[in-house]
Amino acid sequence: MYAGCPLIWASRMQTEISLSTAESEYIALSTAMRDVLSNMQLMDEVNKIFPSLTGKPKVHCKLRKEENKLDCKVYEDNESSIAMAKNPQFSPLTKNIAIKYHHFRRYVNKAITLHSIDSSEQLADAFTKPLEAPQFAYLRKKYCGW
């Protein structure tokens, strides 16, 4: 989000067959990380060329100048996918996940920290699930401010 507005959002079907919910969530996390990593680097480069009058945008993910590394907090509501991402070794549960989904593991616990978030706080649920009216209104307020 930038200035309270979502920059990127997408809802698409996964192209791979998942054997479990954790694997499906891990693939979704990997896909999101692909967008996050490239866009944070892009925002840093754009800010160097066109510095805004209001200062550098405050984002959850940013490039640390002193170490030239990404510094990023990522929120996920599935504990199993967080555990898979934090474990650099392959296990019987992760060996069947395509290698292309493990690209962000090299950043985990170095530049990226994964944090658990309650499912009721997931903003994407407003677009992907049928919600009760109070929950939808709560998430809408977080998105739109009204």
Asked if residue 34 has pLDDT above 70, the reply is: yes
Question: Per-residue pLDDT averaged across 117-126, rounded?
Answer: 85
CA atoms of 40 and 70, how far apart (whole Å) = 8
| Section 78-92 average pLDDT | 86
**Per-residue pLDDT at 133:** 94
pLDDT at 84 over 80: yes
Residue with more model confidence, 46 or 130: 130
| Residues of the chain above pLDDT 90, percent | 10
Q: Return the bridge partners of 74, or none.
A: 114
> Residue 138 — pLDDT band, cuts 50, 70, 90?
very high
Query: So where are the chain's domains?
Result: 21-118
Question: ∠ CA 36-98-111 to the nearest 5 degrees?
Answer: 35
pLDDT of residue 135: 95
Helix (H) or strand (E) holding 141: helix 133-144
Among the listed residues 107, 96, 84, the one whose alpha carbon sits nearest the alpha carbon of residue 36: 107
